[in-house]
Amino acid sequence: MNGAIRKHITVAGTVQGVGFRPFVYRLAQEFGLDGWVKNTADDVTIEVQGLPVHVEQFLSKLQAHPPNNASVSTMRTSKIEPRAEQGFAIVASGSTGNGSTALVPDLAICDQCIADVYSPSSRYYQYAFTSCTDCGPRYSISLASPFDRKHSAMSEFELCVDCAIAYENPHDRRFHAQLMCCSSCGPELQLCDSDGAELTRGKSIVKKAANLLRDGGLLALKGLGGFQLICDATNSKAVARLRALKQRPAKPMAVMLAGEKELSDLCPTSAVQRALFLSPQAPIVVIDQSILSLAREVAPGLRSVGIMRATTALHHLLLKAFNGPVVVTSANRSGEPIITDDELAFSTLAGNVDCFLTHNRHIHHALDDSVSRIALGRPLLLRRARGYAPKAISINHSASIALGVGGHHKNTVALANQGLIELSAYLGDLDSLESVRRFRANVDELLDDGADSRWAELAVVHDWHPDYESTEVAISALAKDGTALPLQHHIAHICAVMADNRIEPPCFGVAWDGNGYGAAFPGDPALWGGEMFSLAEPGGCQRRVSLLGFPLAGGAQAIREPRRVALGLLTVGGEELRHHHSAALYCQRSFSNEELLLIQTMLNNKFNSPMSCSIGRLFDGIASLIGLCNKQEFEAQAASDLERQALDYLEAKNSETPDSEQAAYALVFRRCERLEIENTEHPLFRPAWLLDWRPLLKGVLDDLSAGKERAYIAYHFHYALARSIVDAAKMTQHTRVVLSGGCFQNVCLLELCVSLLEQQGFDVFWPRQLPANDGALSVGQAYAAQFEGLCGGPYYSRSELGLKCV
């Protein structure tokens, strides 16, 4: 072609497993271009040839309008010599590169595939594994990049003639769909009895499973990321039986519905909630209301429930056959990851479930369901897993390759490299050997199977806590000539939100949670959780504010029993608060005489009563004092109850609270004066101010005596906390405020903070793509390594790390 030019193009981002190559093919056809497109281990590579105007139009549309679920992070072009070539082709994938292309998240079944499943004239009619380029499993069945059939669990299934024709047809929706299959050539369902012995195969399986649920039975189903336990969500006995099996007496369980109509029939929702429910990510969406048509046991005593849509064709077929909502929860041993292997499921659950609905497609990556709620008109992730992981996030500042190994709870691992942070799926708590094995496997996967050559170029960032399993990875890095960098827990929280919002220091960071290891010097509470930092430029930080400490009688037992926290608060509060009329009534109501004597003796003698400066524990104590929760059956139950009361107060007011009421409680800033101690050269070790909660506690006790409603007290407690952040930020020169830590999963607190801060002219940042809790610590660790002065703490040398962390 006279006047033709040829360009070589590399495209990085979410560009594999999302129909990007078929999109490029059709785009080239639209502009009459010759050339080819292929996947590589690092990106998608394209060469196009044609008239300059057509090539430029192709490039413009390529970057501006990628297909559904795809995103372009970088696109590089170079001009090369034209060659004799006619037509455009999708060519075989290349294996060159270091595998830096992130694997694609699993995507819930799309509307077109749902239509295929229910169309008698379709080849996919009632087929449980129907998918296309826009939906279906990706990460859960992937073995390596680039994302191709041969690198996935689908490599075991050879395409039949009809599927092969559709695969090669540019006009077919499944053109080059790597998961392409039908009932003639794809995976097959299998129904097994309670001991794992096969009962039957074929299309009748789903109806038999639905009948079992209708009769009150428990079903173990092999889903996208692992086995799930399923029962009728309207059957109290079935839900109670499932709770007994899971050893989960009170924690709310998620409900699955077939689709939008079923959601509308079940409960009213906002447009944002519906959009999230129907999204390709299809997380569990927390709806803040009671749903009377569900069994009370689904969320006992709570006015919220998590709802999700059917994520696969199999789930859709089951729910349509059952014709009602079902409870869905992960199948796993207590404290261990979700089960993905059939034999392990059979041996673990034998005799405890009535049937297994499984299949012969392997799961290579375990995935829990993601969880989200709505705050400030947009999704707020509580757990980042199926549908979101392992999608990378982009960062502006990328100075070094860094591995963040997360914390102990809600663990994830993350790798910062070349302007991206790759983040694993939610791995859970590292309490079992299997959890630790899965954690280490994810580290190896990020580091190209753990090759020693990768360790030598790494900075491995870990938590201060000396006993975390994740710290062992830092020790491994030292043995392989890598670098280990300690980072305080709450600075990691702040850095995670900074990375999420693509901002850099300077800023004012707030990190409020249940606890994170501190103990920077003698007399400092070991358990931090009420921290505010000034992050400077170009590096370094200062602990500006910390909550006044209080004892936790019994340590971890106080976390399970908020009444112990309340007693610790009263003990520190002094004579006036300890002998307050409301305090005396509280103690009589909450403790037997023997319990009160024992716990008070522990507090008085400072026996097994570590000091905490945690806002999360302050929530627990106040919730107990006003009669909401003395003993927790699940994490953050007391705080959730307190938040629910505050939201009820706002709903009843139906408008902003008058200024005269907003000042009901106050937290007071007091200068932190400490004796000269060793190791105070690091400014992090010396908070400038202590946030004194004792005036707030007195206000709560006074209002209890005056007969104020719990909802009133709960709301004004939230307001006082939000007001303290505004006051602290105003004491600095910062204009940007970062809100981080698990406490900001609380919608009432988050929305109050953002509103009050923005009214004062601050730019406010909170989690967008990541959870506020420990599930984002690894991202914060990897991001902190990009700046000087943020990492550091109790362990600096190789010998100290080896001695103190083993």
For the chain, the farthest-separated pair of C-alpha atoms sits apart, in whole angstroms, at: 97
Helices (H), 561-636: 562-573, 575-578, 581-590, 593-604, 615-625
Distance of alpha carbon 651 from alpha carbon 8, whole angstroms: 58
Return the H-helix or E-strand segment holding 345.
helix 342-349
Beta bridge partners of 49: 6, 34
Is 423 in a helix, a strand, or coil? strand
CA 244 to chain centre: 26
Tokens at 380, concatenated: 């707020």
List the helix and strand counts (H, then E) for the chain.
27, 31
Burial 393-431 (b: 16+ CB within 10 A, else e): bebeebeebbbbbbbbbbbbbbbbbeebbbbbbbbbbbe
| CA 588 – CA 679 distance, rounded (Å) | 45
Give ∠ CA 549-551-553 in degrees, rounded to 5: 165
Q: In whole angstroms, give the CA distance from residue 461 to residue 473.
A: 9
Q: For residues 159 and 568, give the distance between their C-alpha atoms in angstroms, rounded to a whole number.
A: 66
Q: Which of 569, 688, 585, 686 is nearest to 617 (CA)?
A: 569
Active-site annotation, residues: 21, 39
3-state SS, 475-522, equals: HHHHHCCCEEEEECHHHHHHHHHHHHCCCCCCEEEEEEEEEEECCCCC
Other C-beta atoms closer than 10 Å to the C-beta of 561 total: 24
Decide: 774 and 512 in contact? Cβ < 8 Å: no
Task: Return the residue matching tokens 């994938």.
Answer: 93
* Range list of H helices, 104-171: 111-117, 161-168
CA-to-CA dists, residue 246 to 634, 636, 700, angstroms: 13, 19, 37
List residues bridging with 692 in a β-sheet.
668
Give the up-direction half-sphere exposure of residue 191: CA atoms within 13 A in the CB hemisphere: 19
Nearest to 18 by CA among 39, 41, 48: 39
Query: CA-CA distance, 113 to 313, in Å (whole number)?
Result: 8
How many Cα atoms within 13 Å fall on the side-chain side of residue 194?
Answer: 7
Cβ-based neighbour number of residue 341 at 10 Å: 15
Cα(748)–Cα(758) distance, rounded to whole angstroms?
A: 16
Cis upstream peptide for 538 (omega within 30°): yes
Non-local (6+) Cβ contacts of 440 within 8 A are 473
DSSP assignment of 45-113 equals: EEEEEE-HHHHHHHHHHHHHSPPTT-EEEEEEEEEE---S--SEEEPPPP--S-S-SPPPPPBPPPHHH
Cα-flanking dihedrals φ and ψ of residue 793, to 5°?
A: 150, -145
H-helix or E-strand spanning residue 356: strand 355-359
Cα separations in angstroms, 121 against 97, 318, 727: 44, 20, 66
353, 380, 382, 383: which is closest to 368 by C-alpha? 383
Of the candidates 525, 512, 515, the residue with the CA atom closest to the CA atom of residue 408: 515
- If you compute the radius of gyration of the chain from its CA atoms, what whole number of angstroms results? 28
